[in-house]
Amino acid sequence: MKMWILAMAMTMTVGANAQQKNDKPEPLKPEQRAELQSKKMTLALNLNEKQQKDVKELLVEQGKQRAEFRRQHMAERQAGKKLTADERFALKNKMLDNRIAMNREMKKILSEDQFTKFEQLRKEKHHELRKNERKHKIHNRR
């Protein structure tokens, strides 16, 4: 009987903890995210005040576009709409165009050395994200 009560108590404790972990923190606003990113870039690339201001404006605009896209995409997913091959192609094409435009703007703002370091940091971050993604997929298969 004591073992049964102990097992029930442990089950209830685990269940209560699992429910608490489902609470996700409120996401940052595009302006807040841009502020943090620009400060990280200032530290990594030694940006001056004008560069920091220009980068922040660029990141805010990019963040607003992403937030709008995310809002629209989530509404479509909840409605059960699936993208056709042409829509997926157009979406990926638009994303690549946005990335190209971002690179052009960053080249205008940053010096050559800063831009080279920016590209290197971006590649390292991309590599790290992919590495973590693979670990996560392997972990979920088990």
How confident is residue 142, by pLDDT bands cut at 50, 70 and 90? low
| Residue in the structure block whose two tokens are 């709409």 | 81
Q: Where would I find the H helices in 22-111?
A: 30-45, 49-78, 85-109
The domain total for the chain is 1
Q: How many CB atoms lie within 10 A of CB 102?
A: 14
How confident is residue 70, by pLDDT bands cut at 50, 70 and 90? confident
Residue 10 in domain? no
Residue 18 in domain? no
Residue 11 in domain? no
State residue 103 phi and psi, 5-degree precision.
-60, -45
Q: Residue 69 belongs to what domain range?
A: 28-135
CB 44 within 8 A of CB 66: no
| Predicted pLDDT at 26 | 86
Q: pLDDT (tens digit, 9 = 90+) per residue, 102-128? A: 999 999 999 999 999 999 999 998 888
Q: What is the mean pLDDT of the chain?
A: 84
| Predicted pLDDT at 139 | 61
Residue 67 in domain? yes
For every residue of 1-43, DSSP letters joined together read: -HHHHHHHHHHHHHHHHHHHHTPPPPPPPHHHHHHHHHHHHHH
| Distance (Å, whole) CA 33 – CA 48 | 19
